[in-house]
Amino acid sequence: MTEYKKPLPIPRPWSKPFWEASKKHKYLIQTCNDCNAKIFYPRRSCPECWSSNLGWTEAKGTGKVYTYTITYAGAEEKFSEDYPYVLALIDLDEGIRVMSNIVDCNPEDVKIGMDVEVVFRDINEDFALPLFKLKN
């Protein structure tokens, strides 16, 4: 595996399960055990009811493009090798909105409302990044 030079995730105690699952190619959504809220991004307490009784549920890994941009320039230099790339807000079927890249496609083919599914990139021995691709 070639050395991954872009910034790495920094797992916190409350986000560690997300990254550990991602490493095993599973997409977890933090969930409040008291009010059932689906929480993104992972936090120490529920943003809806302030409970700290939180757990995790596995997502289907599918959703729709809410909006996107094709980035041609202006990002941090380490990402320039990826130009042009798609940065998107994706509404997962479970009801949370996440930010990610849509990969393995011609960026010009991406449109709002398209179906996407998660694809994991093994970037080093510790991390796999959850990205998305267009669903055929």
Partner 1 sequence: MFNKKTLTIEDVLKSRMITSPLHMFECNVLADGGAALVVTSADRAKEITDKAAYHIAEAEAYNQWTITQRPDILMRSTAHEVCTEALAKAGLTIDDMDVLEFYSAYPVLFAVMLEESGACEPQKGARFVFEGHTSPGGKKPACTTGDALSKGHNGSGVGLAYDVEVARQLMGKAGARQVPDCNHVMVTSGGGTGMNWIASIYGRGLP
Tell me which residues touch partner 1 (CB under 8 A): 40-41, 67, 69-74, 87, 89, 96-99
Per-residue CA distances from 69 to 41, 92, 119, 133, 134 (Å)? 21, 18, 19, 15, 15
Strand order, beta sheet including 38-39: 38-39, 28-32, 54-58
Rounded distance between C-alpha atoms, residue 94 and residue 84, angstroms: 29
* Cβ(59)–Cβ(38) below 8 Å: no
The CB-of-89 to partner 1 minimum distance in angstroms stands at: 6
Nearer to partner 1, 9 or 122 (CB): 9
CA distances (Å), origin 76, targets 5, 6, 51, 94: 12, 9, 37, 31
Cβ at position 98, least distance to partner 1 in Å: 6
Q: Closer to partner 1 at the Cβ: 4 or 37?
A: 37
Pick the closer one to partner 1 by CB: 13 or 74: 74
- Beta strand 85-92 with 97-102 is antiparallel
In whole angstroms, how close is the CB of 71 to partner 1 at the nearest point?
4
Query: Residue 110 or 128: which CB sits closer to partner 1?
Result: 110
CB of 97 to partner 1, least distance (A): 5
Least distance from C-beta 125 to partner 1, angstroms?
28
Query: Given the complex with partner 1, which of 21 and 89 has the nearer CB atom?
Result: 89
